[in-house]
Amino acid sequence: MESNFDVASIRKQFPILEQKVYGQPLVYLDNAATTQKPRCVVKRIEEAYFSHNANVHRAVHLLSQQATEAHEGARVVVQGFINAAESDEIVFTRGTTESINLVAFSFGEAFCREGDEILISSMEHHSNIVPWQLLCERKKMVLKVIPINDDGCLLLDEYAKLLGPKVKLLAITQISNVLGVENALGPIIELAHKQGIPVLVDGAQAVAHRPVDVQALDADFYTFSSHKIFGPTGVGVLYAKRFFLEKMPPYQGGGEMIDQVHFEKTTYNQIPFKFEAGTPDFIGTAALAEALRFIQKIGMDNIHAYERQLTDYALKELGKVEGFQLLGNIPDRHAIIPFQLKGIHAYDVGMMLDKLGIAVRTGHHCAQPLLERLGTGPCVRASFAFYNTTEEVYRLAAALRRIYKMFN
């Protein structure tokens, strides 16, 4: 594989990748679950705790001002990273899951009534299914699902038929965490908007792999998790258009989200603070900003191109392994390869790969309805980040050959 991408020097920024597991150099291919952290992110956390740790927004003293500047500065970095129109449209949460739950609750309160419908797709992660089921139970609404074909692609004609005046929101993933397929969000969102239906995009598997422009997408809501984009755990992002944030009621009550509190009546803070009750993870947000700056320096387009080459190379190499069965028939996969080894349970494959130093994910990948639809049962998922190499792909292919031989 030819590439100008300097993966060797990038890897030096990720000390965890240098270690051995069971005496073998670690091959970390579980990036769709969580990514590793570069030195600058961990350094940022240490620096924040050691030199300007103080609660944000509240005090007049210097440390608090510094912490507040870092936290609010991070909001601007996120805004720039996904090209939101204003930083007030960036709400910090604990992760994609909380971002979606926030919308399901607050949007549901403001815009939904008994008999209304929410539309999702067959390939959603559980965190883009269950919050909508809870809303539907609470409000006596109906959850509708866009079907997929046997290849694992959305049936867009069926999607068009499901749209209608009862649909209050479409919630859909940009890239499937199992199949790696990217949905054609441009036309999908355009069609929904033609009928006045807002769209929430689950970007958890997209932001670390391709440039994202929420204004170009015209997404009404966009969600992602810091830990999947080389930032710390426990921080997430909800982008929402001002129009919706202004209309939606608070999700949780407490400090930060209030304007005036009286026992008779409380008024709320302006957006985005209205949705950020309690002390935010201000150290985490500053570290997330560091991660975003780090990948911006490498360049999202460069990352996208490198990972595309790596994924294509992996598909070719793994395709030569006897017994290798790829899930779905997707024209263009994004850094995710789901598979089975013929006749061998996915857990056995995963456990043996682990002993050979290769970390992958096995199971239903929090997308049980998708695997049920594909009729495959549990599978193995190898997922890449820009620090993975062709050599690692080669080791995965060699390990799978060895496992297949052992079982046959």
**What residues are annotated to the active site?**
366
- Least Cβ distance, residue 28 to ligand PMP (angstroms): 16
**Does 125 contact ligand PMP by CB under 6 A?**
yes
Is the C-alpha dihedral spanning 177, 31, 288, 182 positive or negative?
Answer: negative
- CA Rg, the chain, in Å? 22
- Least Cβ distance, residue 114 to ligand PMP (angstroms): 28
- Angle at which helices 390-407 and 346-355 cross, to 10°: 120
**Does 202 contact ligand PMP by CB under 6 A?**
yes
- Least Cβ distance, residue 128 to ligand PMP (angstroms): 6
Q: Binding-site residue total for ligand PMP (CB under 6 A)?
A: 14
**Does 311 contact ligand PMP by CB under 6 A?**
no
Q: Which is nearer to ligand PMP, 179 or 397 (CB)?
A: 179
Binding mask 24-43 for ligand PMP (x = CB under 6 A): --------x-----------
Of 120-128, 156-164, 241-249, 307-315, which part binds ligand PMP (CB under 6 A)?
Answer: 120-128
Q: Contact with ligand PMP (CB under 6 A): which of 64, 225, 285, 383?
A: 225
Restricted to residues 359-398, the positions that interact with ligand PMP (CB under 6 A) are: 366
- In this structure, the chain runs to a length of 408
**Does 177 contact ligand PMP by CB under 6 A?**
yes
Q: Which is nearer to ligand PMP, 202 or 307 (CB)?
A: 202
Residue pair 381/360 in contact (Cβ under 8 Å)? The answer is: yes
Q: Contact with ligand PMP (CB under 6 A): which of 95, 152, 231, 272?
A: 95
**Does 122 contact ligand PMP by CB under 6 A?**
no
**Does 284 contact ligand PMP by CB under 6 A?**
no
- Least Cβ distance, residue 214 to ligand PMP (angstroms): 16
Cβ neighbour number for residue 301 with a 10 Å cutoff? 10
Q: Which is nearer to ligand PMP, 122 or 173 (CB)?
A: 173
Q: Contact with ligand PMP (CB under 6 A): which of 127, 183, 311, 383?
A: 127
Residue pair 304/209 in contact (Cβ under 8 Å)? The answer is: yes
Q: List interacting residues with ligand PMP (CB under 6 A).
A: 32, 95-97, 125, 127-128, 173, 177, 202, 204-205, 225, 366
